[in-house]
Amino acid sequence: MSEDLHSLSGAYAVDALSDQERADFEVHLDRCESCRDEVDSLRAVTPLLAETVAVTPPPALRADIMAAIRTTRQDPPVVDEPAAEAPAVAEPAVVEPVATAPTEGATVVPLRRRVSRQWAALAAAAALVVGGGVTWQVVEQVTTSAADEVLAAADAQSWQTTTADGGTVRVVRSDQLGKAVLRVEGLADPGSGKAYQAWLQDSSGSMVPAGIMTSTDGEMLLEGDVDGAAGVGLTTEPAAGSPQPTTAPVALIELG
């Protein structure tokens, strides 16, 4: 129990504990000088996170990161194996097995990863302070989103068009997953109080809302029945969205 409490100093410094954990740790803190020193040092660092300036990453950064994740070999686990006929005073030998590089498109899962709870809490705090641009980078290196599953699906199909002002609109759909992703790049600023809204078009030409695109460079998972969609449209609408399109389509892609 004592070892567990020692490990909570980082999470305590950034107020990431439950009420019960906080109460238990504060009792421990009264009698543990090393934990008090550690909490003081961490609290001296965390205010500096607020001075970080959010910077919008370039559009190609996300694609580069995801490509590197799929093709970069992970660190192998460390295996402790005693040396044969070693003298009593010898330390166990450390043997690192050779890890095979993953095939293209494979999802790599580390066999074992140990993360200090206090540093995990500080990393989460940094992501929250810096903002959305950093948050999605941190999260997507740890988890696989539904959009990534569509883009990596074996049956993924892609359709693309160019807008009048030179932007790119692309739709990627997986019939096996029953999902589709809308990716945009280089769209013009929709204007104050405006946003781009995606639509699914049925065979009769009717449009139903499929989500709000909050960026001029990015991607999102389309909402609704993409299996039955004959096309995907994109219009400029009020930031809160519209029940029906109110402007001519910026892009309209017919799905095969």
Q: Please list the rounded mean pLDDT of every run of 10 residues in the chain (256 residues).
A: 70 86 86 88 76 69 77 68 57 46 42 43 49 44 67 89 92 92 92 92 90 88 89 93 92 89
The reported pLDDT for the residue numbered 91 is 52
Predicted TM-score (pTM) above 0.85: no
Q: How many CB atoms lie within 10 A of CB 28?
A: 19
Q: How many CB atoms lie within 10 A of CB 17?
A: 18
pLDDT, residue 41, reads 85
Q: How far is CA 255 from the centre of its chain?
A: 28
SS3 181: strand
**Alpha-carbon span 87 to 237, nearest angstrom:** 76
Amino acid occupying residue 97: P
Helices (H), the chain: 2-6, 9-13, 19-31, 33-45, 59-71, 117-130, 132-140, 146-152
For 125, phi and psi rounded to 5 degrees?
A: -65, -40
d(CA 108, CA 75) in angstroms, rounded, equals 11
Helix axes 19-31, 33-45, angle to 10 degrees: 120
Element (H, E) at 208: strand 207-213
